[in-house]
């Protein structure tokens, strides 16, 4: 599986346009063969930074995504809404057939809550 994470800084005055552009891209991309998930999120610390997380079954599926008409349309309009550089990272997740056993260890009881005197400032 391939995971792609991206950050898109968008200009505040065209944020609504950027959100619609991202929404259209996500809908179209989810219809592609090999797409597991494709979502944009709004950053909590900066609402003008949009985060992208995508999951693909394979590198070939991701490569096919780059060759779609909706990707071409997205890349043509994207510079109009950006306020800086897009940053992306790609991760490849491989499944191992080796099963590892968890080490055994002793448990100590955990106190969930201790009564303490309240301090009021």
Residue 112 within a domain: no
From residue 75, give the alpha-carbon distance in Å to each of 41, 50, 89, 98, 114: 18, 15, 17, 41, 56
Residue 114 within a domain: no
Residue 43 within a domain: yes
Question: pLDDT category, 121, cuts 50, 70, 90?
Answer: very low
Residue 9 within a domain: yes
Give how many domains the chain has, as a whole number.
1
Residue 98 within a domain: no
The yes-or-no verdict on residue 64 having pLDDT over 50 is: yes
* Residue 54 lies in domain: 2-92
CB 63 within 8 A of CB 23: no
CATH code of residue 60: 3.30.70.100
Residue 111 within a domain: no
Residue 50 within a domain: yes
Q: What is the pTM of this model?
A: 0.75
Rounded CA gap, 65 and 37, in Å?
Answer: 12
Residue 23 within a domain: yes
Question: pLDDT category, 95, cuts 50, 70, 90?
Answer: confident
pLDDT of residue 104: 61
Residue 32 backbone dihedrals phi, psi, to 5 degrees: -75, 150
Question: pLDDT category, 100, cuts 50, 70, 90?
Answer: low
């Amino acid at each position: 599986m391939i995971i792609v994470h991206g950050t898109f800084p968008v200009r505040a005055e065209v944020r609504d346009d950027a959100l619609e552009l991202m929404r259209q891209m996500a809908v179209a991309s989810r219809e592609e063969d090999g797409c597991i998930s494709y979502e944009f999120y709004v950053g909590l610390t900066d609402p003008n930074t949009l985060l992208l997380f995508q999951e693909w079954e394979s590198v070939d599926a991701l490569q096919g995504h780059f060759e779609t008409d909706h990707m071409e349309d997205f890349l043509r309009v994207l510079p109009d809404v950006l306020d800086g550089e897009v940053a992306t990272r790609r991760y490849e997740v491989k499944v191992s057939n080796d099963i590892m056993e968890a080490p055994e260890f002793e448990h100590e009881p955990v106190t969930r809550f201790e009564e303490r005197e309240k301090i009021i400032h």
